[in-house]
Every structure is written in structure tokens, then in C-alpha cells.
A and B are shown apart, each in its own frame.
Chain A
């Protein structure tokens, strides 16, 4: 069995990978082959063959652990004694966690709004221009970069050197400040603005997503509408305000809510750039530190449940907007 658990050489790792894939293909193949060969199988056997593995996976990996975490959040740090809602009281009343909640709110409000606004403006500006595809690819590229990679890219932009003697700045942001005749600034240390500089990284990543979806929505606006508006004398900003934005409203809602949900769960940026120090922590990161660093199982579970509960209003809003837009149609 050890061969399957511990792989330490390159060859061994790849061998294990192929074994895993073949094993999976073999099992699924056998199930499907069996269904196909047996004559007149009852329908539930067919359904079980197609759907069974998936259901086992999600019940084992999502439903059961989810319920378990809700239970753990009502127990103490060692998951031994029932403590009722104490963990939630801690999470909502202690100063440290209030900062965390405040930061999380800032993230969830600022990232979706600014990323969507920038994505929308950019999509309108480059729409049907000569360099449209190149321009869109440039904004879109950060989406392929890991959050860790993006954090390192921006940490380098924010890099600080004290302004004395012959020392030159190596971070672009501080160099620009120096060129403008200002003092270099500790972007990641100085509270409370450091949170905003972390938020900028997430906006940088998500704007491409907003731009792509909104650009497709803009292109789907019927020509008749823009034509009629133009004959009515609408141009430029008026066109944008009264035709473009109302026409793509459903897409806007989807983009904003999708980004908001992604933002709520982001922890890579905080972890890589500040390690949650200098009052920059967010719920998703605090969950990680409480669960795995501080060994506060109950508190960690409570923070995870809070994260879950925070997602729900966003989803409800999303579904309601979809319903509304369908009714209008």
C-alpha cells in the first residue's frame, strides 16, 4: 500500500498519476459496460450508474462535512464540550474580529463595484475599435494568474525603501511618488489604507472577467435599439446611460454577484501580501488561521459558517433579479 500513498521520485509520481487515471477510467468503464450489456435493466440501475458516483462524491465531500462544520461551530476549541453560540458571540464582539468583519465588508462592496465599473467602461471604450481583441486580451490576462502570483506581482509594485542617501526605489508605486516629489509610502503597513491596496489587487484580477461578460452582453444589444436611440439624438454618455446600461442589466447583476461571491472567499491575497497582519485580515483568512494555526476548531468552524451565511443574501438577490428579468421579458 505504501507505494500508493508515498511518492517521492518524479517517475513514481507520474506512475501514480497514470495509475489513478486508469483506475478511475477502468471503474467507470466497467459500470457503464455493465449497464450497456445487461438487457432490460430497470431505469434506476441506469440512473445509479450515471449519477451514483457523483452523488456519493458530493454527499461525502460537501453535504456531510458542511453539516459537520455547523455542529463543530457549537463546540469548544477541542470539539469536546457544547458551548452553544459562544463562538459566534466571540466572532461578532471581540475587537480583533470586528476589524475582520469590517475589512470583509469593504472587500465585498468595493471589489464587485469597482471591477464591474472598470470592466464595463473598458468594454464600451474598446468595443468595435481597431485593437479590440488585443486590448481585451491585455485586461483579461490577469485571470490566468494565480492569486499568489498576482500578490507577488503587486507586492513588488508596492515595495518600499526608505528615502535616504543613495537608496533608489525598486517598487514602481513608490518610484512614482518620488518622481512626483513625495515621500515613499509603506503601502502594506500603514493602516487603514493598506486594506485598500490589497483590494486593488483583486479588482485588477476580476475586471477582466467583468469586461468579457459585459462585452458579450453589449454586442448582443439589438441594432434596432441603438439605431432608434441614435435617431432620437442620443450620443456618447447619453447612449451609455440610457441604452447600454439598461440593456445589459441582467448581465451586470450576474457579474456583480459572481465577483462578490468570489471576493468573499478570497484568502490567498491577504495571506501572501501581509499574512493578515496590520489589520488586513478577512473572514476567509481568519477562518484559516483560527482552524489551522491557533487550533481553535470551534471558532474556525463558526467563521466558516459565517462565510456561508454571508453568501446566501447574494445568491437570493441574484435569483430574484433573474426571475424579475424573466418576468419583464
Chain B
């Protein structure tokens, strides 16, 4: 039952394991043996059965839709995806239709999603890094009060801000453009981003910063030359957070972009299709996978950083 005897899963699956155990990796094997002994009574067939059951419920729905997205339209309508082995027929036509069909044209929305997401990840992280640095390492009057105030803004539900923001954008004549979506996502991300990055920054030994200060480095130099290189993992973990949040967001996009082909992201279009063509599963299944393939890849390849960010944001608090 030790980890060493287990077959090696792909690298992306090993990584979260490492994060969890780094702190006590030295005594891992001893602890493992003991844990196995402790668990002796718990790992009865029943508990394994429960674990497997949960795992099935958590994967089969997605798997079913994935299979469906490759089945011909007529087959989808008349039989369940689990009948695939009996009438085996696969096609890429659904994806073709969903991406480039004139009535769906998800390719356009895919581009919109990318164009929305990149600045909406880069801008808040850059701003939050600077702010977190100021809160952590610059000594100024009212610092604590200001930090608590920004921290407290996390509780403001974005619903509360949407309508006044929208009317402001309309007044400025920039409503319905990419700019308002970038701006809004950046604003909404800042409180949590500052909080998480501040946590990471506080973990850096003050002696490093002091030493740089002794050498006559100003705040800007210290920020770029001392802190930034050490913060790369922290930045990565929040970047994934923000990426998933923006890519998967519906409310902000719906409010500020509406349904226009010029600006709206995949989620908006997909929700629309689900409403107007709720029974055309060949489109919906392919569309759902077009929307989730990018976050899935990002997530699986950077899962280690994601877990770290999750723990920094929720447990350290």
C-alpha cells in the first residue's frame, strides 16, 4: 500500500501529491507505513465501494456528453450514448457545425473569449502585485486600515455593482466594447488578488528586503529584482484562478457585452444555445467541449499551482 509500489501516473497527476507532502516528505515513508496500519480497519470493501461510487458519479456525466459530441445527430436523438458499443459510429461533424456553422459560429466566440481573458488576467495581477507590495513592505500611515478596507471589499457581491457600472459605461460611450469587460474583470479580481499575493509576500524573509535596502535599492528596484523572481509560483497560482474565473464567467459578460458576436465570449453563446436550441444535443455537446477544452488543459497542466493558490486563499486566512 505504499506510494512507491504504485504504478506511475502521468506527470500532471503526480504533482498535486508533491505539494501536499512537501512539508513532511522526509518522514513520509514511516508515516505511510503507520497510516496504512491505522487505516487497516477503514479500508473495508464498503468504503472502497463508496469511493468508487463517488468517483463514478463525478466523471460519468462529463464522459457521457463527450461521447455524445462525437456521435452522429440522428443517433444522438434516438439512443443513449451508452449504446455506442452496439451501434458504433463516430464523427467530427458536430464540432464542424458548432465551430463554423453560420447559425452557431462558436469559432468567433472562441476568439472573443481569448481576447477577453488575456488582459483580464494580466492587468489585475500586475496591479495587485504592486498594491500587495505596498501593503507588505512600504511603511506608511494608515496602511493597516487601508489593507483591512481592501480585504473587506471581498464580501461585496458583484451583483451590487453591475447596474451603476453599466450606466457609467453607457455615459462614457464605451459600453459593449472589450474595454468595459477588461476593466470590470480587473476591478472585481483586485481584492482577492491583493489578499492572496499579500499572503505570499509576507512569507518572504524580511532580511532579503532589508539587505537590498542597505545596498541602496529603492522600492521599485526591490520590487522587480528581489521580490518578483521569488513570487513566480504565487503569480502562477493566482493567474490560473483568474483565468478560470474569467474564461468561465457568465454574469459579467452577459451584463457588459450582451449577446453581440463582436464581444460576447463562449459562455454567453453557449447559454443562449441552451435556451434556444435546448434539444439539439449535437450542437450543445460539441459546444460545451469547445468551451471547456482550454480551461481543462490549463488546469491539468498547472494543477500544482492551482492547489497552492487555493490553500493560500482559504486556509491561511
**Interface SS, A side:** helix
Provide the bound-state CA to CA distance between A171 and B245, in Å: 29
Chain B window 283-301, contacts with chain A (Cβ cutoff 8 Å), 1 for yes, 0 for no: 0110110011001101110
**Cβ–Cβ contact B267 & A54, under 8 A:** no
**Cβ–Cβ contact A147 & B157, under 8 A:** no
**Interface: A181 (CB within 8 A):** no
Supposing A62-B187, A121-B50, A170-B76 touch, asked if A308 and B315 sit within 8 A by C-beta, the answer is no
Question: Whose C-beta in chain A lies nearest to the C-beta of B31?
Answer: A223
**Interface: A312 (CB within 8 A):** yes
**Cβ–Cβ contact B178 & A7, under 8 A:** yes
**Interface SS, B side:** helix
A residues less than 8 Å from B42 (CB atoms): 124-125, 235-237, 239-240
Segment at the A interface, from B19-27, B96-104, B205-213, B231-239: B19-27
Min CB distance A243 to B, Å, is: 10
Supposing A20-B119, A28-B126, A63-B153 touch, asked if A156 and B284 sit within 8 A by C-beta, the answer is yes
**Cβ–Cβ contact B267 & A148, under 8 A:** yes
Provide the bound-state CA to CA distance between A155 and B267, in Å: 16
**Interface: B271 (CB within 8 A):** yes
A residues less than 8 Å from B157 (CB atoms): 264-265, 284, 304, 307-308, 311
Min CB distance A205 to B, Å, is: 10
**Interface: A164 (CB within 8 A):** no
Supposing A213-B310, A272-B271 touch, asked if A36 and B221 sit within 8 A by C-beta, the answer is yes
A residues bordering B, Cβ < 8 Å?
4-8, 10, 13-14, 16-17, 20-21, 24-25, 28, 32-33, 35-36, 43-44, 46-47, 49-51, 53-55, 57-58, 60-66, 68-69, 72, 118, 121-122, 124-149, 151-157, 159, 168-172, 175, 204, 207-209, 212-213, 215-217, 219-220, 223, 226-227, 230, 235-237, 239-240, 250-251, 254-255, 258, 261, 264-265, 267-268, 271-272, 275, 284, 287-288, 291-292, 297, 300-301, 303-305, 307-308, 311-312, 315, 322
B residues bordering A, Cβ < 8 Å?
1, 3, 5-6, 9, 13-14, 16-17, 20-21, 23-24, 27, 31-32, 34-44, 47-48, 50-51, 54-55, 57-62, 64-65, 68, 76-83, 108, 111-112, 115, 118-119, 122-123, 126-128, 130-131, 133-135, 138-140, 146, 150, 153, 155-165, 168, 173-174, 177-179, 182-184, 186-188, 190-191, 194, 218-221, 223, 244, 247-251, 254-255, 262, 267, 270-271, 274-275, 278, 281, 284-285, 287-288, 291-292, 295-296, 298-300, 303, 307, 310-311, 314-315, 317
